[in-house]
Amino acid sequence: MNSPKITNILLSLLVLVVLTLVFVATPSFPQKAQPVSTSAGYQRFLPIRPESPPIQGIPPSNHFALDTETGQLCKSFPWNFQSNPFNQIPVCRDLIER
């Protein structure tokens, strides 16, 4: 009878399927993220240049910069004015640490 021969073939196929599943399911080694170099020809923080004369109640435009990595507006230094909504804008230096 061919029963032992069929059993051997089925057992071999089962082993092959299990090994294939183990190989496919095993995660590859994670790649380390390459650090973003700010010296690669771009400036991360672009100061906003004054376009018009100062307006009362609005800080001068040279107090702000644009973070080119996140697109977020930030303050060029940690100034605070009494009860001013502009105080909620983060300092550029703090964006680097995030």
Domain segments of the chain: what residues? 45-96
pLDDT at residue 77 is higher than 60: yes
* Whole-model pTM over 0.75: no
The pLDDT of 77-97, averaged and rounded, is: 84
The pLDDT of 26-40, averaged and rounded, is: 52
Using CB atoms within 10 A of its CB, is residue 77 exposed (0-12), middle (13-18) or buried (19+)?
Answer: exposed
pLDDT at residue 16 is higher than 60: yes
Cα angle for residues 8, 13, 16 (degrees, 5° grid):
125
More confident call, 17 vs 84: 84
The pLDDT of 27-50, averaged and rounded, is: 64
More confident call, 65 vs 13: 65
pLDDT at residue 97 is higher than 50: yes
